[in-house]
Amino acid sequence: MGVRDNFVYSKKDLMVGGVAAAIVVVMLGLGFGLTTGASLPATEQAESKEPPNDAYEAALQILEQYPVIDGHNDFPLTIREIFNNDLEGWNFDSDLSQHPKFQDYPMKQTDLQKMKKGRVGGQFWSAYMSCNTQYKDATPLYLEQIDVIRRLADKYSQQMVFVTSATGIEKAFAEKKIASLVGVESGHAISSSLGVLRMFYEAGARYMTLTHSCNTPWADSSESEGGNEPVLNNGLSGFGEMIVKEMNRLGMMVDISHVSSNTMRDALKVTRSPLIFSHSSARNVTNVSRNVPDDVLEKVRLNGGIVMVNFYDCFVIEDCNAKNATVQDVVDHINHIREVAGVDHIGIGADFNGVTKTAEGLEDTSKYPNLFAALLEDKKVYWSQQDLAKLASGNLIRVFKQVEQVRDALKMEKPYQQLIPIGDLGRNTYCMSDAGLERAP
């Protein structure tokens, strides 16, 4: 979810002792920031109606062998807004822009036909509900969104498969299906509960974005940098650090898109695993708080994480109300992240169906080859086939595997069992029962 709430559609301590030493050894052994993208099986070639040119045809050939994994797509919320989470009476394997209920809907960006044309081999589907649900019914609503993601993959099982691991993605590639994963967008989903976090993992969630456009009681949102939200913790609270470490223990990727710069920095300090930005771009290129500052990009390189670049106009160019972004503008963000963080730390998180306006030439999920063709034609930075394979999916698979390896190294660590201190909730206890309030202040 990029900025849906602003549009018409609402949409400290590291471990000590022997286990800590083991984690250090594991992380050094993994070579964070140094490993190359994985070699991935080919996908089935689909007929393209794009205008033929050498770069475009070369991009198609690369993506046949190394399909795209996109870090963030909000189509599950579209299902809720248009179809009330009912999967009957419409066909995901059709051109949904022609469906009557999409005629007045501003985001006709995703369906299986478009994804096949775009050479998508993996998709993190966003389980998201608005910040208006925080302190209310966020948790059951998010669970409904995970349910609809799983049902969608099951209904279209000839083309999609629900997966929860890096090897599951690779197996889906080999079977020429779209690996479908859950990303929980915003920590308000878990109602400040470590127990709920664990249950989301059991339900299949493999990353959680720490905030959306609102603070959680334990993490500051990017909106706090612009004054739209107060600065509560100047980053992560102690409980927020515990959430990051529990996600490491579970093997759930920590997503720091949408958070403030100080939350980014705090998360990078406390994590035992590589972190991800599921849909963010470079702040040095476009100075908005949703993008990643250069000092954080440098820390991402050291951490071994990944920044998955967003296609939304207002994260890609400064004056998005006066002009349209182009593919080259997105290329500029990718090249800058490559320059600062390195080619092993870039991916794609377009934010389709979460924003109404994306760069020209990247209007929907069929258009990823245009981006790869532009990179091949780029005059400033040379992109080899291996580099493009990393960008497409290799880097994300590498990060996912390293998160799983740290999880395995932490298998003897006990779950974090603390409840959030009542004082951290401030005045936001009006929807809590007495049972929820019975704890030490």
Question: Residues with Cβ < 8 Å from 289, sequence gap 6 or more?
Answer: 222, 223, 225, 226, 260, 261, 283
- Which of 111, 225, 266, 351 is catalytic? The answer is 351
Q: Which residue has the tokens 């308000």?
A: 188
279 is catalytic: yes
CB contact at 8 A, 372 and 59? yes
CB contact at 8 A, 182 and 124? yes
- Which of 212, 333, 336, 345 is catalytic? The answer is 212
Please choose, from the candidates 385, 288, 284, the residue with its C-alpha nearest in 3D space to the C-alpha of residue 339: 284
188 is catalytic: no
CB contact at 8 A, 330 and 359? yes
351 is catalytic: yes
294 is catalytic: no
- Which of 70, 111, 223, 279 is catalytic? The answer is 279
**Angle separating helix axes 194-202 and 138-155, nearest 10 degrees:** 10
How close are the terminal C-alpha atoms of the chain, in Å? 34
- Which of 225, 246, 255, 258 is catalytic? The answer is 258
212 is catalytic: yes
Q: Which residue has the tokens 């990727």?
A: 253
258 is catalytic: yes
- Which of 72, 333, 336, 345 is catalytic? The answer is 72
H helix runs in 121-250, sequence order: 138-155, 166-174, 194-202, 238-250
Q: Which residue has the tokens 């009476």?
A: 89
333 is catalytic: no
Please choose, from the candidates 85, 38, 28, 3, the residue with its C-alpha nearest in 3D space to the C-alpha of residue 386: 38
- Which of 170, 185, 223, 329 is catalytic? The answer is 185
Strand partners, 127: 184
List active site positions.
72, 74, 185, 212, 258, 279, 351
